[in-house]
Structure 1
Amino acid sequence: MSKKTYKTPGVYIEEVSAFPNSVAQVETAIPAFIGYTPQANHRGNDCTFVPTKISSFLEFERIFCFPNSLDPVQQYSPQYYLVHQSSKPSLGDFLLIGNDYYSIVPDPHTIYYLYNSVKLFYQNGGQNAYIVSVGGYGKASGVPLLLGAPLVNPNVQLADLLKGLEALKKEEEPTMYICPEATLLSIAENGTLMQQMLLQNSEMQTAISIFDIIGGNRENQLGRNVDIEAFRSHTGTVGLNYGAAYYPFVGTTIMGERDLNYTNLLNGDVKALAKIISSEPGVEERVLDLLKSIYNSSNPQSVNENHRDLLSINPTYNAIISAVLQVANTLPASGGMAGVITMVDNMQGVWKAPANVSMSGVDSLPIKIDNRAQETLNVDALSGKSINALRIFPGMGVMVWGVRTLDGNSLDWRYINVRRTMICIDQSCKNACKSFVFEPNDANTWVRITSMIENFLNSLWRQGGLIGAVPKDAYFVGCGLGTTMTTNDILDGRLIVNIGVAVTRPAEFIIISFSQQMVSP
């Protein structure tokens, strides 16, 4: 009955809500990328250290990349050197030109991963994402990396990445933190960053972190266990169920022949490049003439036109560009995994394990992993820190072959999809219950909250997100005096809701038992 007082005779209409409040499921796959970009300009304003939401790679280019002209600008310009070797190198990537071996080594000051990682994210089904630019690219050193030395970029600063991470404390929408350029820090600084990411995840309870492992881009002469143990010993012990790691890096097709040219070789020294190419027997005179006109600045063509001409007339230049592209296209897997997780969420749901799927734009792995090698990655009895393997299977390509969090020994939080499903349920229910703040703490409110959450969980169960033959086996919701609250709780203004769910877990090990049956005589 209406409690409103009417003073004028007449007919009045009052609408009564027929349906209770509902729980709206939060977005489950919105990564936040932290790293260096060509620029950061959103509508004329500098957006460095400002989490900026994008919905496509085109939007990423518009905000974080240099404007393109008729002669396209290189958004990412790594520098590689061809270092002559007296014999076949035992370390790193190399190229044979004529009878001479050349190691392909980068200028570490010019190596960055975020630009190509965002590309890989969208190639694998990515949609909405946040970008936290922590600055532009630093200056090249003009010196190649020492052969066999760890790839550390001094321009990548721990303080910058931590500041970018701090900026995400104001954003509850991102559900994954990704920092591919963390692998360009020293091992100790990378460990500090990972621990801070996990700490922030565990405090906010809204996102997980996806990690890459330093050394995943090449075989370690001392054994891959050295890199794995270094990673495990530097991740700490806090918030492990909010983290997941993937190993090794991936060989991609992100960059093509248009993305690198002779300006990316030998610090742009075309004369030195001409000397290497001329060492190949039978080089045509027109190739050397073209190179000479380029370094004498007497060639009116653009860099891209010269690059195309060299590709078409000189096999050696072709081989150099192909070899350098193979090195440049070796990327951390985290960006691609964010895309895979987004695709799986959209096609099936957050409860589906993001594994046993292939990665788009990936055609090789720098490190091959077999069953025996994966044993020590998947299960570590000492630390419990599981690492998910990326593997190549005949006829299937590169597959994601692991679905564990870093808390691999925990029965509750062993699997990534369980952790992410619980984040989804937690945040969805939390947001829905905000409308009941300051409502009367009585039976009417308890019933409304209970029915609202039960309807939401029933919807998840019907979609296959919760396990159970009937709803009572899949979930329960409790709220009331004597069940979840005492009289003191009510007097103190506390309304307590207990929720229990049976989240689906992946069939990680499928065991088939065979036996022989005797034939009756």
Structure 2
Amino acid sequence: MASTYATPGVYINGASAQAASVVAVATAVPAFIGYTPRAVYQGQSCYNQAVKVSSFAEFQACFMLDNPPPPADPARQYSPQYYLVAQKGQPASGDYLVIDGVYYAVLPDPATLYYLYNSIRLFYQNGGGDAYIVAVGPYGPPSKQPVSDPAAQWVNPNVQLADLQRGLATLLNQPEPTLYICPEATLLAGADNATLMQGMLLQAEEMGTALCVFDIIGGANPDPVRYTQDIQAFRNNTGNNGLNYGTCYYPFIGTTIMQQGDIDFTNLFGGDIAQLAALINPPAAPNAAVATLLGLIEKPPANPMSNSQLQDALLNACPLYGQIVKHVLACANMLPASGAMAGVYTLSDNTHGVWNAPANMSIVGAVSLPINLSDPQQANLNVDPVSGKSINAIRLFSGQGILVWGARTLDGNSQDWRYVPVRRTVTFLEQSIKLATRAFVFEPNNANTWGAVKTMITSFLTDIWKQGGLQGAAPADAFQVSVGLGSSMTADDLLNGYLGVTVEVAVARPAEFIVITFQQQQAASV
């Protein structure tokens, strides 16, 4: 500023725009990849584009229909189809109900199953904020038949590996997302699922900005005994690269996302009222009220009742129909945990910081689990001495509800990258410092620049240490920053235009095992 001004007025002094501090990057910005009924942004199709949304309302505006037709059209909006299939005995896994002494398995038409929509709802229900949506295509046609075996893997023929890979590739130009989530990957065949997961891990490792959150095929209806085969298949399918950029949660979670109004008779037997009538209005026990309502559905009058009105009337007229809807709704609400975990990550980061383990936290909307894991069962998930690929359990605890009970990456054998908060904290520090030091590109590679860079990074890390993100009694114990000739650079580096910075941090690790030792003390003698 000049020492004197001779003329009254307003004066503007230009100042250097060079960054003087590190601005922390966002830590919980998931990128969801999957199928949506539509994809329109600013009046143009945005399929296979990464679109940023900040609320569920924005997601609906871009990816859901404004005025969807009746639910009988699964190609237009999410409307899963379910069948009740008679069984010879009680099914070993999956949901079922007993009608007149016969076991009926509740089985989906796999071609109508999609998880992205409800996963986004779970994300925002659990505290989600900004997110990227990569819609890879619309819903496909139904197959008009259920899966053949209650224990069989659900494979949606409309979910294609090439579509999801193309969606993943669009994120190569998006450094902001910090989580990669593809809930519909579990609807692929095993080999395709393996290819996709390995591609996600490889891309995450190359970019160094995101953590992949996986689900396990079979997590929706695990066999009480043979579920370990699903676990082993997942471990085999993830490969050996980029494991510290991946994490997994098991099993699926039973939610309350879809309510009774989201399921009606059009979701049963592909809309075939005759098959429904055989169960709720059999010749051996006819129900006149039910017969009348079914007739109104099959042959609507001039002024027809709405589907919701017919649904309410059927529920009142036939208790058995209410049981069927209840079981179908429970199946439709069994969802991959990855969407909910993205919300849990966001809530944990906003409340405590990215260095806090997103564990020992409840999942909003989760009311049941398809399998209740015990301590010994989780031990085999948490620690695998052969592959080291840890799987985080979601468990039910008496008096506490359903909790996330694990915070490990797939790189369980690594001392450095075993824990999710360690991996995410280091990524957060790397990206924040990387963006801040861009202001020094083309600056003179001399002591003044070195001092400015060191001061900037030291100030940033000191602030992180004060918040509890780094361990140590003093900043000197928590981190070290070296910049300059003889410490982080050589004379050749100067000649080649390299400014080297070495940052060492002591990241706080979660207390995963709390060991309390009890010892009897002998009574003191008089």
Q: Pick the TM interval, shorter chain.
A: over 0.9
TM-score for both structures, normalised by structure 2: 0.94
5+ residue gaps, structure 2, are none
Residue 71 of structure 1 contacts residue 304 of structure 1 at CA under 8 Å; is this kept in 2? no
Residue 474 of structure 1 contacts residue 501 of structure 1 at CA under 8 Å; is this kept in 2? yes
Amino acid of the residue matched to residue 125 of structure 1? G
Residue 68 of structure 1 is matched in structure 2 by: 67
Amino acid of the residue matched to residue 203 of structure 2? Q
Q: Deviations over 1:233-258 (max 9, x none)?
A: 11011110000001111111111111
Residue 274 of structure 1 is matched in structure 2 by: 277
Residue 42 of structure 2 is matched in structure 1 by: 43
Residue 213 of structure 1 contacts residue 228 of structure 1 at CA under 8 Å; is this kept in 2? yes
Residue 174 of structure 1 contacts residue 207 of structure 1 at CA under 8 Å; is this kept in 2? yes
Amino acid of the residue matched to residue 473 of structure 2? A
Aligned partner of residue 214 in structure 1, secondary structure: coil
Shift of 1:296: 2.0
**Alpha-carbon separation, structure 1, partners of 2:124 and 2:434:** 30
Residue 442 of structure 2 is matched in structure 1 by: 438
5 Å-filtered alignment, 1:387-402, equals 387-402=391-406
Q: Work out which of the residue numbers 80, 99, 102 in structure 2 matches 1:100.
A: 102
Residue 80 of structure 1 contacts residue 106 of structure 1 at CA under 8 Å; is this kept in 2? yes
Shift of 1:394: 0.5
**Alpha-carbon separation, structure 2, partners of 1:451 and 1:419:** 25
**Alpha-carbon separation, structure 2, partners of 1:83 and 1:307:** 22
Q: Work out which of the residue numbers 115, 118, 124 in structure 1 matches 2:117.
A: 115
5 Å-filtered alignment, 1:212-291, equals 212-220=215-223, 223-279=226-282, 284-291=287-294
5 Å-filtered alignment, 1:54-203, equals 54-68=53-67, 75-147=77-149, 148-203=151-206
Distance 1:13 1:129, change over 3 A: closer
Aligned partner of residue 452 in structure 1, secondary structure: helix
Residue 134 of structure 1 contacts residue 161 of structure 1 at CA under 8 Å; is this kept in 2? yes
Aligned partner of residue 437 in structure 2, secondary structure: helix
Shift of 1:89: 3.3
Amino acid of the residue matched to residue 33 of structure 2? I
Q: Deviations over 1:181-210 (max 9, x none)?
A: 000011111011000000000000000100
Amino acid of the residue matched to residue 68 of structure 1? N
**Alpha-carbon separation, structure 2, partners of 1:70 and 1:221:** 40
Q: Work out which of the residue numbers 499, 520, 526 in structure 2 matches 1:495.
A: 499
2:379 is aligned with 1:375: yes
Greater mean alpha carbon deviation, residues 139-148 or residues 416-425: 139-148
**Alpha-carbon separation, structure 2, partners of 1:99 and 1:14:** 87
**Alpha-carbon separation, structure 1, partners of 2:519 and 2:90:** 53
**Alpha-carbon separation, structure 2, partners of 1:18 and 1:403:** 40
**Alpha-carbon separation, structure 1, partners of 2:423 and 2:93:** 40
Q: Deviations over 1:140-196 (max 9, x none)?
A: 011111023211111100000000000000100000000000000111110110000
2:38 is aligned with 1:32: no
Greater mean alpha carbon deviation, residues 305-314 or residues 262-271: 305-314
Amino acid of the residue matched to residue 277 of structure 1? I
2:316 is aligned with 1:312: yes
Distance 1:17 1:153, change over 3 A: closer
5 Å-filtered alignment, 1:298-447, equals 298=301, 300-447=304-451
**Alpha-carbon separation, structure 2, partners of 1:26 and 1:346:** 13
**Alpha-carbon separation, structure 2, partners of 1:29 and 1:280:** 57
**Alpha-carbon separation, structure 1, partners of 2:362 and 2:237:** 29
Residue 348 of structure 2 contacts residue 356 of structure 2 at CA under 8 Å; is this kept in 1? yes
Residue 516 of structure 1 is matched in structure 2 by: 520
**Alpha-carbon separation, structure 1, partners of 2:336 and 2:12:** 63
**Alpha-carbon separation, structure 1, partners of 2:111 and 2:232:** 26
Residue 454 of structure 2 is matched in structure 1 by: 450
Amino acid of the residue matched to residue 436 of structure 2? A
Amino acid of the residue matched to residue 116 of structure 2? L
Amino acid of the residue matched to residue 81 of structure 1? Y
Residue 68 of structure 2 contacts residue 77 of structure 2 at CA under 8 Å; is this kept in 1? no
Amino acid of the residue matched to residue 43 of structure 2? G
Percent identical residues: 54
Amino acid of the residue matched to residue 495 of structure 1? L
Shift of 1:443: 0.3
Q: Work out which of the residue numbers 203, 207, 211 in structure 2 matches 1:204.
A: 207
Greater mean alpha carbon deviation, residues 79-88 or residues 466-475: 79-88
Distance 1:373 1:44, change over 3 A: same
Residue 248 of structure 1 contacts residue 366 of structure 1 at CA under 8 Å; is this kept in 2? yes
Q: How many residues align?
A: 516
**Alpha-carbon separation, structure 1, partners of 2:100 and 2:80:** 26
Greater mean alpha carbon deviation, residues 38-47 or residues 216-225: 216-225
**Alpha-carbon separation, structure 2, partners of 1:13 and 1:115:** 52
CA RMSD in angstroms comes to 2.2
Shift of 1:84: 2.2
**Alpha-carbon separation, structure 2, partners of 1:163 and 1:465:** 36
Aligned partner of residue 337 in structure 1, secondary structure: helix
Aligned partner of residue 258 in structure 1, secondary structure: helix
TM-score for both structures, normalised by structure 1: 0.95
Amino acid of the residue matched to residue 324 of structure 1? V
**Alpha-carbon separation, structure 2, partners of 1:70 and 1:212:** 32
Residue 109 of structure 1 contacts residue 153 of structure 1 at CA under 8 Å; is this kept in 2? yes
Distance 1:280 1:472, change over 3 A: farther
Shift of 1:308: 1.9
Distance 1:89 1:14, change over 3 A: closer
Distance 1:23 1:182, change over 3 A: same
Residue 241 of structure 1 contacts residue 419 of structure 1 at CA under 8 Å; is this kept in 2? yes
Residue 6 of structure 1 is matched in structure 2 by: none
Amino acid of the residue matched to residue 110 of structure 2? P
Distance 1:312 1:19, change over 3 A: same
Residue 93 of structure 2 contacts residue 223 of structure 2 at CA under 8 Å; is this kept in 1? no
Amino acid of the residue matched to residue 200 of structure 2? M
| TM superposition outliers: structure 1 runs of 4+ over 4 Å | 9-20, 69-74, 280-283
Greater mean alpha carbon deviation, residues 312-321 or residues 81-90: 81-90
2:483 is aligned with 1:479: yes
Residue 217 of structure 1 contacts residue 367 of structure 1 at CA under 8 Å; is this kept in 2? no
Residue 257 of structure 2 contacts residue 333 of structure 2 at CA under 8 Å; is this kept in 1? yes
Shift of 1:112: 0.8
Amino acid of the residue matched to residue 331 of structure 2? V
Residue 84 of structure 2 contacts residue 107 of structure 2 at CA under 8 Å; is this kept in 1? yes
Residue 271 of structure 1 contacts residue 292 of structure 1 at CA under 8 Å; is this kept in 2? no
Residue 355 of structure 1 contacts residue 403 of structure 1 at CA under 8 Å; is this kept in 2? yes
Distance 1:16 1:195, change over 3 A: closer
Shift of 1:225: 1.5
Shift of 1:504: 0.6
**Alpha-carbon separation, structure 2, partners of 1:276 and 1:476:** 72
Shift of 1:91: 4.2
Residue 5 of structure 1 is matched in structure 2 by: none
5+ residue gaps, structure 1, are 3-8
Residue 246 of structure 1 contacts residue 334 of structure 1 at CA under 8 Å; is this kept in 2? yes
